[in-house]
Amino acid sequence: TNQEEIFGPVVTIQPFDDDDDAIAKANGTRYGLAATIWTQDIDRAHHIAARIDAGVVWINCWLRRDLRTPFGGMKDSGVGREGGDDALRFFTEAKNICIEHPKR
């Protein structure tokens, strides 16, 4: 299950030797929709979250989201972002129309 994009709620638990090993395991998949970090050391959590390739990283919680903030995956977990100003850019198709007017 750790190499597939499964939707749950589902939790997989793996042992790890240190932070680098945990990050390597988290990033060692082609998907990156979301991740959770559970710890009492918030500084450590921020350091690890910055290094995890996921669209959202929850720290000591799960599935909390402010709809005004961007949400979306990385790698094979999707393209673009929903929510917030990022959604406006993602769902907008810009077009450039160039016209040369004849000289009178």
Q: What is the mean pLDDT of residues 52-81?
A: 86
Q: What is the pLDDT of residue 1?
A: 60
Query: What tokens appear for 42 in the block?
Result: 């918030």
Q: What is the pLDDT of residue 18?
A: 97
Indicate whether 30 pLDDT > 80: yes
Number of Cβ atoms within 10 Å of the Cβ of 87: 17
Distances in Å between the alpha carbon of 96 and those of 20, 50, 64? 46, 37, 39
Domains along the chain with CATH numbers: 1-104 (3.40.309.10)
pTM to 2 decimal places:
0.73
Please write the tens of the pLDDT for every residue from 72-89: 888 888 766 777 777 777
